[in-house]
Amino acid sequence: MQLAGKVALVTGAGSGIGKAAAKLMAEEGAKVALLGRSEDELEKTLVEIESSGGTAISVIGDISQPEQMQQANQKAAEKWGRLDIVFANAGVNGVWASLEELTPEEWNKTININLTGTFLTVKYAVPYLKKQPGSSIIITSSINGTRVFSNTGATAYSCTKAAQVAFTKMVALELAEHRVRVNVICPGAIETSIDENTERRNLEEIKEPVEFPEGKVPLTDGKPGTSEQVAQLVLFLASDAASHITGTEMWIDGGESLLKG
């Protein structure tokens, strides 16, 4: 029970990496506030946690909205009297298209959710985290924008992911005196539903032709990773086992970014 007695807020907890991390944290003793925009998805995560003996609540919220994120952090902290862990995981791939086709509205939507959403999630958690020395913030970035730049058309997405790494390093130094750790994970191909919500437009016309006949993930002969594997990394960074790690990005991609970057 590595997280016994601790309270965690997980954004994007209704599916994928967020769901896997929330379930694992609960298994390890944390009380978990599940945040997302889909009440049905959050309810399923909540039921799975409670049926396994864990403790959780669901919080409907949009990470790009300041008031909603302020209320979400407050609800988690007030429910159990503290907040120790924030997993800022929610995000979107957005629209992948050439610069000429990408509209300002599409650009802004991706920026607002991925980057501003991370800022708001962390900003409103900080007052509570400062009260718990040894608390931890984990942010989900990506191999895109950090090691990989070959996914042509993913410009807005990659810019937000690169910015999340810079944000992590800035905030890690700012919060070090309060013993709050801040780290960022950079997943590669992971079996989640995020690709299903990605709009790709006419990328064949601008993308450089590259083939990986043996697969893009060297460690697994092309097979993508799982949300549960990423959750194990999140658990490590949230736990006291990572007590001397802050301001650090960690790639979890089976070597994919080394091949594609």
Dist CA 141 CA 114 (whole Å): 9
In the residue annotation, 124 being an active-site residue is answered as no
CA-wise closest residue to 145 among 131, 128, 160, 135? 160
Structure tokens at 201: 């437009």
Buried b (16+ CB within 10 A) or exposed e, 60-93: ebbbbeeebbeebbeebbeebebbbbbbbbbbbb
CA-wise closest residue to 154 among 6, 10, 260? 260
Work out the number of other CB atoms within 10 angstroms of the CB of residue 107: 16
Distances in Å between the Cα of 53 and the Cα atoms of 13, 46, 243, 245 are 18, 11, 27, 30
Compute the radius of gyration of the chain from its Cα atoms. 18
φ/ψ (deg, to 5) at 226: -115, 160
Dist CA 230 CA 143 (whole Å): 13
Structure tokens at 261: 């970057």
- From the list 96, 119, 128, 157, the catalytic residue is 157
Q: Do 152 and 144 meet the contact criterion of CB atoms below 8 Å apart?
A: no
What residues are labeled active site? 157
